[in-house]
Amino acid sequence: MTQAIDGLTSRAMDAAPSITRELANTAMGTQGLIPLWFGEPNEPTPKFICDAATRALADGETFYAEGLGRPFLRHALSDYMTNLYGRQIGSDRIAVTVSGGNALNLAFQSVLEEGDMVATITPAFPNLLAIPRLQGARLITHSMEIRDGRWHLDVDAFLEAAKPAKAVLLNSPSNPTGFMLEHDDMRHILHVLRQRGTWLISDEVYARIVFERTVASSFLDVSEPEDRLIVVNSFSKSWAMTGWRLGWLTLPPSLTPVIEKIAEFSVACAPPFAQRAAVTALAEGEPFIAETIAKYRLALDLVKETLASHPKVTFPVPNSAFYAFFRLNGVEDSVSLARDLIANAKVGLAPGEAFLMKEPGWFRLCFAQTPEQLGEALERLQPWLKQTHG
């Protein structure tokens, strides 16, 4: 570990490092390793999207662009979401960002002051917890529970815990659990927060990675344009564009100029050739999404079949996303076992501690893999799944 710089104090210095990133950095380059820790599709970006970027580069789309995004992409996103949700969402509400992570940073920067409180649910993607903390916020966390083999959120208990918060952060569909809020709960949450004047930041980057429908429920379905609602989205997951670092925000129109201002101070603009490719993704990508979801269903079936055969494994079945978040009952140190799996099974899993799990023994496995690679990884894990822990 790098030694701290003498005399330097900052929120960044105090931030806890990413457990998953530390494991991955240590293991990268290990011969024969099957890495299942990062959340990204196994296949590269489709050729028709890459070709659009190539044409844009050849046409000279390499200069600075508008801070909120090229108008053609903002209009395309307006049309895409209007069609998806059946409600008019104007382009004046859309800001193109440099990734979903940048979108979250911009969202929190626009509404938070030093010492404000942010309420969220756990288990949670660690970046969701780190971003508001790095901006001086204090976190209120509320744990989900398992009921009837699925993750469950007691919405009223969460809203009670969130009373002191200036902003609520919700991630649905969820990383790492695959939990998904439904319309009635979303409507109730938004109604209560509207009465309180509380901001709601909704991370919906897995909106299209769902198994029983075309799109997950969204707070955009139950909101009005000037509600204190900021919805975060990304091109990374649905269109296999993780390395492109391109996302977008849907905002109250009155907040859009604020986002433009602070985006200028950090990234200026998203790459214009990537924005041109994003329009092509929106226009031509539905068959790719449908094919991908079909593959994920088969992958989930394989994971369920494997994990269900081991009585010492707890696996709440996800409704969405492409993660198996499961527990090896009796394991006392998930990080240590994750290192053991890297060294001896040649399989990389993300330990549950990374997602603020209080119980040990939890792991996240990304099943967005080829059947051959996933099958091999599950076979390698069998000796550890069969062990009687504790």
Domain ranges of the chain: 11-45+287-385, 63-283
User: Cα(172)–Cα(216) distance, rounded to whole angstroms?
Assistant: 8
User: Cα(63)–Cα(58) distance, rounded to whole angstroms?
Assistant: 12
Domain 11-45+287-385 -> CATH class: alpha beta
3-state SS class at 202: strand
Confidence of residue 388 (pLDDT cuts 50, 70, 90): low
3-state SS class at 257: helix
Predicted confidence at residue 263, as pLDDT, reads: 94
User: Cα(73)–Cα(223) distance, rounded to whole angstroms?
Assistant: 23
Nearest CA to 77 out of 89, 68, 87 is that of 89
User: Cα(251)–Cα(253) distance, rounded to whole angstroms?
Assistant: 6
Sort strands 150-152 and 145-147 into parallel, antiparallel or unpaired: antiparallel
User: Cα(371)–Cα(367) distance, rounded to whole angstroms?
Assistant: 9
> Is the per-residue pLDDT at 3 higher than 60?
no
Is the dihedral angle over the CA atoms 131, 136, 140, 141 positive or is it negative? Answer: positive
> Is the per-residue pLDDT at 42 higher than 90?
no
User: Cα(238)–Cα(214) distance, rounded to whole angstroms?
Assistant: 12
What is the DSSP secondary structure assignment for residue 44, as one 8-state letter? P
Predicted confidence at residue 389, as pLDDT, reads: 52
Domain 63-283 -> CATH class: alpha beta
The share of the chain scoring above pLDDT 90, in percent, equals: 83
> Is the per-residue pLDDT at 325 higher than 50?
yes
303: part of which helix (H) or strand (E)?
Answer: helix 286-308
Name the burial class of residue 85, with classes exposed (0-12), middle (13-18) and buried (19+) by CB atoms within 10 angstroms of its CB. middle
CA 389 to chain centroid, in Å, comes to 31
314: part of which helix (H) or strand (E)?
Answer: strand 313-314
**What angle do the packed helices 256-264 and 99-111 form, to 10 degrees?**
110
pTM: 0.93
User: Cα(11)–Cα(171) distance, rounded to whole angstroms?
Assistant: 24
Could you read off the pLDDT of 152-179 as tens digits, one per residue? 999 999 999 999 999 999 999 999 999 9
Confidence of residue 101 (pLDDT cuts 50, 70, 90): very high
User: Cα(142)–Cα(128) distance, rounded to whole angstroms?
Assistant: 14
φ/ψ region of 319 (left if φ > 0, alpha if ψ in -120 to 50, else beta) reads alpha
